[in-house]
Amino acid sequence: MISPDIENVNVTSFAPMPSPEALHSKLPLTDLASETVMKGREALRNIIDRQDKRLFVVVGPCSIHDPVAGLDYARRLKALQAEVADTMLLVMRVYFEKPRTTTGWKGYINDPDMDDSFRVNVGMEKARQFLLDVCELGLPTATEALDPISPQYLGDLIAWTAIGARTTESQTHREMSSGLSTPVGFKNGTDGDISIAINAILSSAHPHSFLGINAQGNVSIVRTRGNAYGHVVLRGGDGRPNYDSVSIAIAEQALAKAKLPANLVVDCSHANSYKKPELQPLVMADVIHQIVQGNKSLVGVMIESNIVGGNQKIPADLSQLKYGCSVTDGCIDWDTTEQMLRDAHKQLLGRP
Summary mean pLDDT of the chain: 96
CA gap 77, 58 in Å, rounded? 11
What is the DSSP secondary structure assignment for residue 305, as one 8-state letter? B
Q: What is the pLDDT of residues 78-92, one digit of tens each?
A: 999 999 999 999 999
- Spell 234-265 as b/e; 16+ CB within 10 A means b: bbbbeeebbbbeebbeebbebbeeeebbbbbb
CA gap 317, 320 in Å, rounded? 6
Q: How many CB atoms lie within 10 A of CB 83?
A: 14
What is the DSSP secondary structure assignment for residue 269, as one 8-state letter? S
Check: CB of residue 116 under 8 Å from CB of residue 177.
no
Beta strand 184-187 with 88-93 is: unpaired
> Which residues lie below 8 Å from residue 317, measured CB to CB, with a gap of 6+?
none
Residue 6's pLDDT band (boundaries 50, 70, 90)? Answer: confident
Mean per-residue pLDDT for 191-208?
97
Check: CB of residue 323 under 8 Å from CB of residue 281.
no
Q: What is the pLDDT of residues 11-48, one digit of tens each?
A: 999 999 999 999 999 999 999 999 999 999 999 999 99
**Nearest partner of 57 among 340, 347, 346, judged by Cα:** 340
Q: What is the pLDDT of residues 260-309, one digit of tens each?
A: 999 999 999 999 999 999 999 999 999 999 999 999 999 999 999 999 99
Give yes or no for residue 160 having a pLDDT over 70. yes
**Nearest partner of 190 among 258, 229, 249, 242, judged by Cα:** 242
Mean per-residue pLDDT for 197-222?
98
Residue 102's pLDDT band (boundaries 50, 70, 90)? Answer: low
Mean per-residue pLDDT for 49-53?
97
In the prediction, which pLDDT does 104 show?
A: 80
**Nearest partner of 276 among 307, 236, 315, judged by Cα:** 236
Q: Is the dihedral of CA 181, 169, 89, 46 positive or negative?
A: negative
Percent of the chain with pLDDT over 90: 94
Query: What single-letter amino acid sits at 115?
Result: D
Strand positions, DSSP E, the chain:
55-60, 88-93, 141-144, 160-163, 184-187, 209-213, 219-223, 230-234, 264-267, 298-304
Exposure of 343 in the CB half-sphere (CA atoms within 13 A): 15
In the prediction, which pLDDT does 100 show?
A: 61
Q: What is the pLDDT of residues 239-257, one digit of tens each?
A: 899 999 999 999 999 999 9
Which domains, ranges and CATH numbers included, belong to the chain?
30-45+54-348 (3.20.20.70)
Q: How many CB atoms lie within 10 A of CB 226?
A: 14
Residue 2's pLDDT band (boundaries 50, 70, 90)? Answer: low
What is the DSSP secondary structure assignment for residue 321, as one 8-state letter? P
Q: How many CB atoms lie within 10 A of CB 99?
A: 13
Mean per-residue pLDDT for 320-330?
97
In the prediction, which pLDDT does 350 show?
A: 82
Q: Facing residues of 218 across strands?
A: none
Mean per-residue pLDDT for 203-214?
98
Q: What is the pLDDT of residues 117-146, one digit of tens each?
A: 999 999 999 999 999 999 999 999 999 999
Give yes or no for residue 3 having a pLDDT over 80. no
Cβ burial, residue 76 (10 Å; 0-12/13-18/19+):
middle
Cβ burial, residue 142 (10 Å; 0-12/13-18/19+):
buried
**Nearest partner of 26 among 153, 180, 155, 159, judged by Cα:** 153
In the prediction, which pLDDT does 173 show?
A: 98
Mean per-residue pLDDT for 66-74?
98
Q: How many CB atoms lie within 10 A of CB 26?
A: 11
Enclosing H/E stretch for 178: helix 171-179
CA gap 271, 282 in Å, rounded? 13
